[in-house]
């Protein structure tokens, strides 16, 4: 089966590229991926599988491939939403939806998995178990699609879940993995500080919300530098400070918005506790009132060490001309809602390098000029294919 699967994937490389380019030309934002979902559904039309649509809180799709023999059940996940970015990449298949772009590689994720799934459908009699193909909507915008798909119960029979991400961290042919905590968790905060406005000449008759807000910005950074261990990962970014006013008027109120990242659940709890403690202190110190909205979004992504070790072993033993190097990557600073699958199931989320040929300083995911080496699509399909074959111990 393994050799046959790889031959099938190689013969359909051009199809993967064609699908990726079609999706790239027609990107859709999170929770609005109606046409993309229909394209995926049309692909499975007439195939001997069970297809469930509108799974979770949006356009999620789960395709169940029942093998010819009894055995374990696994999930293979790919996301398919795009970003609100005006594309600047100079490609002939540029986005036709103004202000929307596949700047994170989800078009490639969907393209490789569609073809891989079709090949597995044709070979399903050889599979000792069940494979659920998870086409997930809305990875980019909290609450995301993964959490709702997990909570729907449609995946409750799974033993493990696998997924990949295209990242320009090396040439096509490089596959990376990381054991343990691998992607940051994320939280969002919004703070409104209500003071008392007044004339700039008479600060003693007012209560300056900007001064209180500025103090919060500075104090929040001490959480990272003075409350976390030097061996903990944490970031607090105040990305918005809305204090626009008139130069000689003391501001009545200000609003701040921030992004918080952390690598472990323990750090998540610590940062949230300290933020709330500082807000209380500012109310007391400056005599203001504060309204704090603090929302934990995606949890840290934890790759099960045992499963990840097996994935690395499967790939290192592949001896495939298209998979040229398999190596351990460092933890990643961004967040990923694949973390919700990994919270419930022992999982592994690994990386497919995709730096465009000739690029020494490639644009990273979410950049308007982001692009991939499309050779990475076949690498992704083969890599996940080898994981499936290794998992089920089929030759």
pLDDT in tens, the chain (395 residues): 999 999 999 999 999 999 999 999 999 999 999 999 999 999 999 999 999 999 999 999 999 999 999 999 999 999 999 999 999 999 999 999 999 999 999 999 999 999 999 999 999 999 999 999 999 999 999 999 999 999 999 999 999 999 999 999 999 999 999 999 999 999 999 999 999 999 999 999 999 999 999 999 999 999 999 999 999 999 999 999 999 999 999 999 999 999 999 999 999 999 999 999 999 999 999 999 999 999 999 999 999 999 999 999 999 999 999 999 999 999 999 999 999 999 999 999 999 999 999 999 999 999 999 999 999 999 999 999 999 999 999 87
CA angle 173/176/178 to nearest 5° reads 175
Q: Residue 126 has what DSSP assignment?
A: G
pLDDT for the residue numbered 28: 98
Q: Would you state the CATH architecture of domain 185-296?
A: 2-Layer Sandwich (3.30)
Write down the number of H helices and E strands in the chain. 10, 16
162 within 8 A of 384, measured Cβ to Cβ: yes
> Which residue out of 28, 79, 81, 274 is catalytically annotated?
81
- Reply yes or no on whether 81 is catalytic: yes
Q: How far apart are CA 232 and CA 185, in angstroms?
A: 13
Q: Residue 321 has what DSSP assignment?
A: T
pLDDT for the residue numbered 395: 76
CA-wise closest residue to 271 among 279, 280, 262: 262
Q: How far apart are CA 222 and CA 63, in angstroms?
A: 48
The CATH 3.40.630.10 portion of the chain extends over 2-183+300-392
Task: Kindly report whether the peptide bond that precedes residue 240 is cis, defined as omega within 30 degrees of 0.
Answer: no
CA-wise closest residue to 237 among 279, 275, 209: 275
CA-wise closest residue to 9 among 320, 273, 359, 231: 320
The CATH 3.30.70.360 portion of the chain extends over 185-296
Name the residue with tokens 């959490």: 147
pLDDT for the residue numbered 106: 98
> Which residue out of 28, 33, 79, 139 is catalytically annotated?
139
CA angle 385/148/312 to nearest 5° reads 25
pLDDT for the residue numbered 394: 86
Q: How far apart are CA 330 and CA 232, in angstroms?
A: 14
Q: How far apart are CA 122 and CA 131, in angstroms?
A: 13
Which phi and psi angles does 212 have, rounded to 5°?
-65, -40
Q: What DSSP letter does each residue of 336-365 carry, written as one string? A: -TTHHHHHHSEEEEEEEEEEPTT-SSPPPT
373 within 8 A of 171, measured Cβ to Cβ: yes
Q: Which CATH number fits domain 2-183+300-392: 3.40.50.620, 3.30.210.10, 3.40.630.10, 3.40.50.970?
A: 3.40.630.10
């Amino acid at each position: 089966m393994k050799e046959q699967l790889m031959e099938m994937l190689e013969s359909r490389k051009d199809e993967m590229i064609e699908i990726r380019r079609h999706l790239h030309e027609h990107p859709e934002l999170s929770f609005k991926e109606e046409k993309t979902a229909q394209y995926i559904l049309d692909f499975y039309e007439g195939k001997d599988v069970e297809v469930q649509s509108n799974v979770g809180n949006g356009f999620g799709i789960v395709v169940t491939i029942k093998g010819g023999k009894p055995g374990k059940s696994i999930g293979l996940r790919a996301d398919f939403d795009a970003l609100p970015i005006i594309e600047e990449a100079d490609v002939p298949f540029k986005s036709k939806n103004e202000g929307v772009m596949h700047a994170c590689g989800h078009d490639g994720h969907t393209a490789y998995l569609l073809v891989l799934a079709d090949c597995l459908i044709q070979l399903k009699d050889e599979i000792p178990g069940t494979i659920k193909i998870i086409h997930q909507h809305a990875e980019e915008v909290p609450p995301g699609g993964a959490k709702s798909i997990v909570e729907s119960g449609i995946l409750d029979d799974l033993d493990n879940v696998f997924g990949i991400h295209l990242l320009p961290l090396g040439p096509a042919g490089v596959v990376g993995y990381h054991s343990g905590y691998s992607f940051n968790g994320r939280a969002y905060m919004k703070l409104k500080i209500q003071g008392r406005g007044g004339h700039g000449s008479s600060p003693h008759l007012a209560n300056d919300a900007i001064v209180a807000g500025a103090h919060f910005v500075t104090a929040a950074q001490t959480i990272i530098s003075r409350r976390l261990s030097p061996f903990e990962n944490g970031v607090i970014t105040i990305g918005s400070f809305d204090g626009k006013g008139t130069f000689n008027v003391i501001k009545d109120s200000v609003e701040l918005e921030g992004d918080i990242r952390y690598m472990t659940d323990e750090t998540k709890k610590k940062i949230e506790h300290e933020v709330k403690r500082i807000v209380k202190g500012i109310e007391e110190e400056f005599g203001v009132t504060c309204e704090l909205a603090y929302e934990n979004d995606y949890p840290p992504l934890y790759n099960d060490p045992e499963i990840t070790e097996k994935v690395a072993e499967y790939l290192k033993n592949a001896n495939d001309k298209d998979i040229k190097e398999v190596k351990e990557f460092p933890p990643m600073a961004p967040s990923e809602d694949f973390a919700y699958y990994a919270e419930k199931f022992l999982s592994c989320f690994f990386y497919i390098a995709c730096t465009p040929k000739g690029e020494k300083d490639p644009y990273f995911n979410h950049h308007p000029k982001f692009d991939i080496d499309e050779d990475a699509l076949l690498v992704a399909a083969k890599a996940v294919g080898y994981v499936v074959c290794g998992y089920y111990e089929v030759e």
